[in-house]
Structure 1
Amino acid sequence: MINTIKLKTKLIQFGTLIAKNLKITLRDKQSLIWLFGYPLLCMAIYSVAFGASGSRASYNIIIINYDVSDSANPSTDFGANVSLIITDEFRDNANLSQSFTLHESWKNGSLITEEQARIMVLEESMDGVIIIPANFSEVIIGSTSWYSMAQQGYLGDGYESLVNTTFPSGSPKLEIITTADPITSQIIPSLFDGMVNNILLGMNNISALETTLEIGPKGQSVSFFDYSAPGFAILGVLVSISSLTAIICTEKFEGMLDRLDTTPVSRSILLGSAGAAQFLFSAIQIVVLFGSMFIFGVNMSPKVNWLLAFLLALLFAFVCIGLGLIISSFAKNAQAAGNLAWFVILPMQFLGGTFFVVDAEFTKIIPSKYVNQALRQVITYGASWVTVWQDLVILLGFGVVFNLLGIVIFMKKKKI
């Protein structure tokens, strides 16, 4: 009976403090404008006039080569000659091999199929797929000035196999599938256009390459604004780090926390209620910002799992609450807390893939990287739980570690 009364008392204390923290947040109109206005303003600016750039150390690509399918010996068959020149160039050219990693097989040794390759691009485990069609080399060779001469036997040794062939003429074609990242979707097609057209010139072929470029999911036109929009949906959650630290540090500075230390309310309830209030507020932010994506005309997958997207954003809110607790435990006042918070917020925005992709090892320790890539896969590509479960687990891990660390620091301090 006594334990039941104690539990009921603690729950009442917890609920009262949550209500108090929500009132503080809602009372500050300037803070509300910033928390909602900043991500909405970013989304509006990007929807009207976009400009961003990113740097990549290397690009992961797959070449599906149907040009060699009917060749008994592709290395000596003129009918597969050009496609082999392309793949050999990726292996032998030092500059290309440093910038582009060519993947041709799974770890178990089985060849990657076109269907598997397309899925890997949609899941962003690959940057692009280049599909070389059957008769690719035949079309190129059949359009050269020396092909007819070889058929008539004028070129002598080495060209005897062409005498009885019937290669078609015209423009060779490539199909390229890339992620919606604008840098990737420009660089990969440009590289292959230049490479193939140089080969055509070298073979005295006056035709030009025809490239079919597919960006993002098949049948879905994806702009870079559409690609970036899922990241805007968690900007408000990220900015809330500053709001939480300001609330806690204001109470520290005004002596409210010292006075509460003299009451039966424990520090764990105090911190938990502050985090819970911010968590509820973030849930509202997420709903509003997801809804704004429809207003701004974001092109989303028809298979969006909004429950999964909401859970990913909530887990990131949990991470941000932990970071807010850690920052506020060291800051001396609200102004210092706000300044410290932005030293965390800005790197999370720009290095976590919100505005552009940053391909570097150190980004693996940035929580926003995982929520950005997971939300993009769910909202833009219509991915399921199976695709993003690792991101969910990683975000949960970050959240548990940061929140426990923040609570432990507060609990150990003699004075807060």
Structure 2
Amino acid sequence: MNNFKQFKKMFAAQLKLTLREKQAWFWGIFFPVILMVVFMVIFTGDSDDEFNSEVAIVNEQPNPTSEMVLNQIHQLSVLDVKSDEPVSREQAEEWVKEKEVDAAIILPESQEATSITLIVNKENEQGVTAQALSGILDKFIQQANLFAAGATPTYDMKFETVTSGNTELSYTDFLLTGMIALAIAQGGMFGMIDLVEMRRKGLIKRLRMTPANMEIFGLSDMSMRLLFSIVQIILLSVIGVFIFGANLYINFLSLIVVFLIGALAFNALGYFFSSFSKTTEAYMGMANIVNFLMMFLSGVFFPIETMPTWLQPLSNILPLTHFADVLRESMAYQTSIFTGTLWLGIGTLVLWGVVAFSIGSLLYKRKSIVATR
């Protein structure tokens, strides 16, 4: 019972310290929320809708060929023709320069002409819209060539997708689960800053001289951080689901195991950072560098498969990569706890946590031995 009373008092003290720590609030709550909202507003506004683009049509010398092409373009639902009628080339180029339209299409100037010109803004030449328009126009020309040659197309392509979840994973779902993983990781890596301050001020040494049980002190600190992470999951999930329309299909047993292992692993990383940091500035500098690298290399915002091939092996080593993967499996795909791929990711997190905690403990013990000499 005495141990339980110590736990309650230490837990309450740790909670008060955390609530007073502005950096913990920022990195643990506000930063993940702000980051997720920014990315969702930028990348998910029309991401699930059909592609649509506005173009200008130039048909300065109408002829049977240009009229046929114009009629076909009007039948393409993905293209909206500005002003509904052809305009001069000068006007079309001005609209493209001012980005009032995505592109201008110059129709053949005579019945014998064989070229259709696509004009895009130089700044957007490599953009998704310009590439999509080029592909659409290229396919259109291929079909026109077959029609002109009197050939009948033999083959066509059918596009299908499969997923291990109940529905296809949209970018909103992908980003939400990635941001939850990032928030929990940041909570662990940045959350041990109080240990640096306590050691610098000699508070840990004083605690060891009191009847306080240091194991219970560590347990209360860990319990408080797990509670903080639960708040992060709930808050980000509510924002993602009710504001941005994300879909979650949760296997709660898998989520509990993944959450506990992931939170403990990143707390161990924070513990490791604190073991050799003499000041809070040094600790925050190290944590920020690691956090920045993992934020953009761990598949939080974009799939790892879209990264350069030479960079992917590095991404596959980072703990946040595996944490984001297994968290998506448990929150978006309802993956069972008995699935082998899930345990592969969990095993990697356990390895990271054990190694980080072991090295951190060794460094703390060495410093304690030096301090007593």
For normalisation by structure 2, the TM-score amounts to 0.61
Alignment of 1:4-403 (within 5 A): 9=2, 12-29=5-22, 31-50=24-43, 205=151, 207=153, 209-214=156-161, 216=163, 220=167, 222-265=169-212, 268-300=215-247, 303-359=249-305, 360-387=312-339, 388-403=342-357
| Paired residue type of 2:193 | A
Indicate how the Cα distance of structure 1 residues 409 and 283 shifts in structure 2: closer, same or farther if over 3 A, else same: farther
How far the C-alpha of 1:212 sits from its partner, in A, is 2.6
The question of whether the paired residues in 2 share the 8 Å contact of 1:13 and 1:269 is answered with yes
Determine the C-alpha separation between the residues in 1 that align with 2:265 and 2:165: 34
Determine the C-alpha separation between the residues in 1 that align with 2:34 and 2:270: 23
- The percent identity for this pair of structures is 26
Determine the C-alpha separation between the residues in 1 that align with 2:364 and 2:22: 29
Determine the C-alpha separation between the residues in 1 that align with 2:360 and 2:4: 21
The question of whether the paired residues in 1 share the 8 Å contact of 2:40 and 2:172 is answered with yes
Residue segments in structure 2 that go unaligned for 5+ positions in a row: 45-127, 306-311
How far the C-alpha of 1:267 sits from its partner, in A, is 5.1
Determine the C-alpha separation between the residues in 2 that align with 1:407 and 1:45: 38
The question of whether the paired residues in 2 share the 8 Å contact of 1:245 and 1:334 is answered with no
How far the C-alpha of 1:413 sits from its partner, in A, is 2.0
The answer to whether the aligner puts 1:413 opposite 2:367 as a matched pair is: yes
How far the C-alpha of 1:36 sits from its partner, in A, is 0.9
How far the C-alpha of 1:342 sits from its partner, in A, is 1.1
Determine the C-alpha separation between the residues in 2 that align with 1:240 and 1:9: 30
For normalisation by structure 1, the TM-score amounts to 0.55
How far the C-alpha of 1:272 sits from its partner, in A, is 4.4
Determine the C-alpha separation between the residues in 1 that align with 2:243 and 2:219: 36
Indicate how the Cα distance of structure 1 residues 305 and 353 shifts in structure 2: closer, same or farther if over 3 A, else same: same
SS of the residue 1:365 aligns to: coil
Indicate how the Cα distance of structure 1 residues 404 and 35 shifts in structure 2: closer, same or farther if over 3 A, else same: same
The question of whether the paired residues in 1 share the 8 Å contact of 2:262 and 2:323 is answered with yes
The question of whether the paired residues in 1 share the 8 Å contact of 2:271 and 2:357 is answered with yes
How far the C-alpha of 1:315 sits from its partner, in A, is 1.7
Indicate how the Cα distance of structure 1 residues 401 and 296 shifts in structure 2: closer, same or farther if over 3 A, else same: farther
How far the C-alpha of 1:394 sits from its partner, in A, is 2.7
| Paired residue type of 1:336 | A
The question of whether the paired residues in 1 share the 8 Å contact of 2:265 and 2:349 is answered with yes
Determine the C-alpha separation between the residues in 2 that align with 1:329 and 1:232: 27
Deviations 1:236-293 (A, max 9, x none): 2122135423211121222212322333446555444433332332233223323333
How far the C-alpha of 1:323 sits from its partner, in A, is 0.5
SS of the residue 2:188 aligns to: helix
Number of residue equivalences: 266
The question of whether the paired residues in 1 share the 8 Å contact of 2:189 and 2:269 is answered with no
The question of whether the paired residues in 1 share the 8 Å contact of 2:322 and 2:345 is answered with yes
Deviations 1:156-205 (A, max 9, x none): xxxxxxxxxxxxxxxxxxxxxxxxxxx9xx99xx8xx98xx79x97xx75
The question of whether the paired residues in 2 share the 8 Å contact of 1:271 and 1:407 is answered with no
